[in-house]
Amino acid sequence: MKKTLIIIMTALMAFAVSSFAGPKKKGEIKEVTFVVEFDCENCAKKIRENVAFEKGVKDLKVTLEDRTVALKYDAAKTSEETLKASIEELGYPVAGVLAAGEKAEHHHHDH
C-alpha cells in the first residue's frame, strides 16, 4: 500500500511540475499550397500518407483535380522548403506554389 501511495504521489508531482513549467512555445501556423506533378489517386494517396506525418504538419489536403497539396504547418517545427522536399523525395516534382486564394489551373485530359 505504501509503495502504491509513493507511486501516485510521484506521478502527481511530475504532472504538477510539467503543468507549471510555463506555456510551451507554439509556432505560427502557416499555410502553403504546392502545385505538384502527379496524376492518379494512388499518387495522391502516397502523398497524403507520407506528408501527413512530417513534423509540424497540422492539416493536409491533396486534390487530384487541381494537382495541389495544401498544407497547414507549425512554422516553429518545419518550413515550406522542408515540406516541398518531402513531396519531391516521394518522386513528385513541385511545379510551383500558389499564392493565398489563387486557384490552380485545371488539367483536363481526354479519355
How does pLDDT run across 35-92, given as a tens digit for each residue? Answer: 999 999 999 999 999 999 999 999 999 999 999 999 999 999 999 999 999 999 999 9
Report residue 19 as a C-alpha cell: 503543468
CA dihedral angle for residue 97, residue 62, residue 83, residue 109, rounded to 10 degrees:
-50
pLDDT tops 50 at residue 23: no
Give the full edge-to-edge strand order of the sheet including 57-63. 57-63, 68-74, 29-36, 94-98
Q: Report the alpha-carbon distance of residue 63 to residue 72 in Å, rounded.
A: 15
pLDDT tops 80 at residue 102: no
Predicted confidence (pLDDT) per residue in 84-99, tens digit:
999 999 999 999 999 8
- Taking the whole predicted model, whether its pTM rises above 0.95 is answered as no
